[in-house]
Structure 1
Amino acid sequence: MNLKIETKRLILRELLFSDAKALFKMDNNPKVHTYLGNNPVKSIEEVNDYISDIRTQYVINKIGRFAIILKDTNEFIGWAGLKFVTEPENELVNFFDLGYRLQEEHWGNGYAKEAAEAWLNYGFNKMKKYSIYASAHIDNRNSKRILEKIGMTQKSEYKWKDIPCAWFEITKESFSKS
């Protein structure tokens, strides 16, 4: 993919295999996986498989999760992006899901919100999508607050792989008004 999105503080670019070490650091942290089923990665091979899957999504769907890089330091701090979901989730299939994940030391700095807003802008204004969805563990107040701050509305609660989740949606019309 030849896509790069820049915000005031961030560069959002495709995930590369050279990101594996930093991605492993993030996804090996049990605190990062508190609301994700408590299943941190255990090997760099798992991370490389994950990156390979994401890179396949780039080819098939022309979109996916992208690395979040701090402009000032060129440091990998997490990922964010739109994923085209083809498996049923909350009784919906073939939809665009907004997601993000950050290294623990970068929580609380507004980076997830900044990246998420950039992806909504891209999804609505470049991809011309009508709706974008997201989910968060029902107890993850911080993630739910980010989704609300970017204009998403909680529509329901459901279980995904036995994880209790809140389901969020935003439409192009409501995004344009915010």
Structure 2
Amino acid sequence: MISTPIGAKSLTINFFINTMNLILETDRLFLRELKLSDAEAMFDMDRNPNVHQYLWNKPTKNIDETIAIIESVRNQYIQNNIGRFAMILKETNELIGWAGLKYNTEIVNNKVHFYDIGYRLNEIFWGKGYASEASFAWLDYGFNEMKIKIMQAAAHTANIASNKILQKIGMIQTEQYLEDNISWNWYELKNPNI
């Protein structure tokens, strides 16, 4: 168990590591690896056009796409020892979205080989603080356990909710950039322990 002050908030995280199994626990959530058995719940989230409004408006069309995404994330666990994790609501044991760290090997904002923090929620769980709660846990884990020097993130400029979440967890907007003629805000946060 780790108890770490982040900003004005104190966050307690329980974590367990087995072979390739990491679980973070917050007050309301379990954050665990994505599994193929999560495909139906993820497809339900990702086929919703509202969820993809600020993601190039490309909702998932069939469950096979979702399965391919989960397999890709699971490969990231093996290649990079990290990736996006399922966000499980403790109260109901249901998958409500995903959150986590990703080691980026593709060019984003003219940058490559960096860690970013991200999240996505099923629309019915928006506005309840779950993305912030999960992100605080991932920042804590990334900075204290993985010793990441700088965390990065991007949010569509018009996505007010996502920008507020990144600001709430302490990320600082350092620039704006265009990708496919879409404006994005770029955020960074240096590890306060290094």
Q: Same fold (TM over 0.5)?
A: yes
CA displacement at 1:87 relative to structure 2: 1.2
Whose strand fraction is larger, Structure 1's or Structure 2's? 2
Aligned to 2:35: 16
TM-score (norm. length: structure 2):
0.88
Q: Secondary structure at the match of 1:41?
A: coil
1:72 correspondence with 2:99: no
How many residue pairs were aligned? 174
Q: Secondary structure at the match of 1:119?
A: helix
Aligned to 1:101: 120
1:4 correspondence with 2:17: no
Per-residue CA distance 1:89-121 (angstroms, 9 max, x = gap): 112110001000000000000000000110000
Gaps of 5+ in 2: 1-19
Whose helix fraction is larger, Structure 1's or Structure 2's? 1
Aligned to 2:133: 114
Distance, in Å, in 2 between the alignment partners of 1:123 and 1:32 is 26
Per-residue CA distance 1:111-134 (angstroms, 9 max, x = gap): 000001100000000000110000
Q: What pairs up with 1:141-152 in 2 under 5 angstroms? A: 141-152=160-171
Distance, in Å, in 2 between the alignment partners of 1:20 and 1:160 is 29
Aligned to 1:60: 79
Distance, in Å, in 1 between the alignment partners of 2:35 and 2:104 is 21
CA displacement at 1:40 relative to structure 2: 0.1
Q: Secondary structure at the match of 2:75?
A: helix
Sequence identity (%): 55
CA displacement at 1:172 relative to structure 2: 0.9
CA displacement at 1:88 relative to structure 2: 1.3
1:38 correspondence with 2:57: yes
1:128 correspondence with 2:147: yes
Q: Secondary structure at the match of 2:111?
A: coil
TM-score (norm. length: structure 1):
0.96
1:91 correspondence with 2:131: no
Aligned to 2:66: 47
Distance, in Å, in 1 between the alignment partners of 2:142 and 2:155 is 19
Task: Specify the code of the residue in structure 1 equivalent to 2:112.
Answer: V
Aligned to 2:6: none
